[in-house]
Structure 1
Amino acid sequence: MSNSKRGAFIVIEGLDRSGKSTQASLLHERLQDSQDGTIPKVVLLKFPDRTTAIGKMIDAYLRSESELDDRAIHLLFSANRWELASMITAHLAEGTTVLADRYAFSGIAFSARKGLPYEWCRAPEVGLPAPDITLFLNISPKVAAARGGYGLERYEKEEVQKGVRQVFDKIGQAMREEGKGKWVEIDAGKSKEEVAEELWRAVQPLVSVVDGPISKLWETTLGGGS
């Protein structure tokens, strides 16, 4: 086979309490079970990674234990992704599947919802490894608000989530138009088992490893907007 074969980069996105972490864990287990050999070649990442120095600052902010300028916190979120960018690239090059619970799209959606310019929010993410597929868990903010644990963090307010949803719609449309990485919407209002099956059907074609180079987010459109 071609020596360009590599691991797949899979991202799960969605509003708060849409079931992202639950589904990421289930998909991680299924990906492990689907692979041959004694050492599963799949890793699960969660953004923000709250274990790093930058991640701890983000964690304090999300828990409303500290206050930061909107631009400053956006850049910290982006820096947190860049901390792991080289690791993601290395895993993919080695043939390891990388599954991420949230990614750059969340950073853009939450910051743009605050009123920051969309292109400004996107700029720090340009050049990050691009997902081969992004699975957007589609749920109404009202349904998400009814789920357990809602409201424990700063952004878990229904009016905030409505605005975030609008930006996610813009991102999804742009990704589909640009044709760089597949953007798939999944009905997250269904049962946990049904959602898990839909996710599996979407990623199954990528399980046997991907052909071609690792793409970079929006690199070809750098400077195309303001």
Structure 2
Amino acid sequence: MAARRGALIVLEGVDRSGKSTQAKGLVQYIKERLGLEAELLRYPDRTTATGKVINEYLSSTANLDDNAIHLLFAANRWEAKPEVAEKLQRGINLVVDRYSFSGVAYSAAKGLSLEWCKHCEDGLIRPDVVIQLEIEAEVAAKRGEFGKERYEKLAFQKSVADTFKAFQSLPYWKVVDATLPMEKVEEGVQSLAAAAIKRAEEGEPLLQLW
């Protein structure tokens, strides 16, 4: 009998939508409540060779061509693909704070072609579920520490939110209202994640983007 694989669970949303908090809490939920293995991943991974360049860019200490920075973000995910696939096949559930969808949405918000941006992600592992924490950019901008990084500008975040709407027709894309009380947001995220884990355990195959 083949080993059960883990699920790839992605959290997306505009900056300060609560993704990081929910991602950390979801890993704890999977481990403690479901009794399964789980790990947290964040993109960009700022510890890798590409990640260090990206970190300088996001901290506004380096300037790069928009096409080049998109390719760097995509490469940051590509260099992790073998390890991601290996962990999923070992039965580890991976909770991911941002993935290809953020990469596409943020670059498209800068005026790059949506299709070109998506093409750079062709062949990466498709998530079992993407959970978008939906919140108006104006509301997110009022949350603490907004504006610390390059992309945290209100008009830009509104463009990102508009691009996320283009993904909402994907069958694996789910939306949770991030303005609800914290416990309600958690319940929504946990329910969607548990359903994705169940499908993975029942043998639903891993697919590729798009």
| Length-normalised TM-score, structure 1 | 0.88
Q: 1:44 aligns to what SS in structure 2?
A: strand
Instruction: Name the structure 2 match of 1:146.
Output: 142
The Cα RMSD (Å) is 1.3
State the SS of the aligned residue for 1:171.
coil
Q: Is the 8 A contact 1:5 1:212 kept in 2?
A: no
**1:120 matched to 2:112:** no
Residue 81 (structure 1) aligned to one of 73, 77, 83: 77
Task: Name 2:53's counterpart in structure 1.
Answer: 57
| 2:189 matches 1:189 | no
How far 1:194 moved relative to its partner? 1.6
Among the aligned pairs, what percent are the same residue? 45
Report the CA distance between 1:23 and its aligned residue: 0.4
Q: Give distance in 2, aligned partners of 1:149 and 1:141.
A: 14
1:31–1:207 contact (8 Å) kept in structure 2: no
Number of residue-to-residue matches in the alignment: 208
Describe the SS at the equivalent of 1:78.
Answer: helix
Is the Cα–Cα contact under 8 Å of residues 101 and 164 in structure 2 kept in the other structure?
Answer: yes
Question: 2:204 maps to which residue?
Answer: 212
2:163 aligns with one of 148, 163, 167: 167
Query: Structure 1: which 5+ runs fail to align?
Result: 177-181, 219-226
| TM-score when normalising by structure 2 | 0.95
- Rounded to whole Å, the distance in 1 between the matches of 2:153 and 2:181 is 23
Query: Which residue in the other structure is 2:17 paired with?
Result: 18
By how many angstroms is 1:106 displaced? 0.1
Q: CA deviation at 1:210?
A: 4.5
- Classify the secondary structure of the residue corresponding to 1:121: helix
**8 Å CA contact retained: 2:26, 2:189:** yes
- The separation in 2 between residues aligned to 1:105 and 1:154, in whole angstroms, is 18
In structure 1, distance between residues paired with 2:37 and 2:202: 13
CA contact (8 A) 2:3 2:90 kept: no
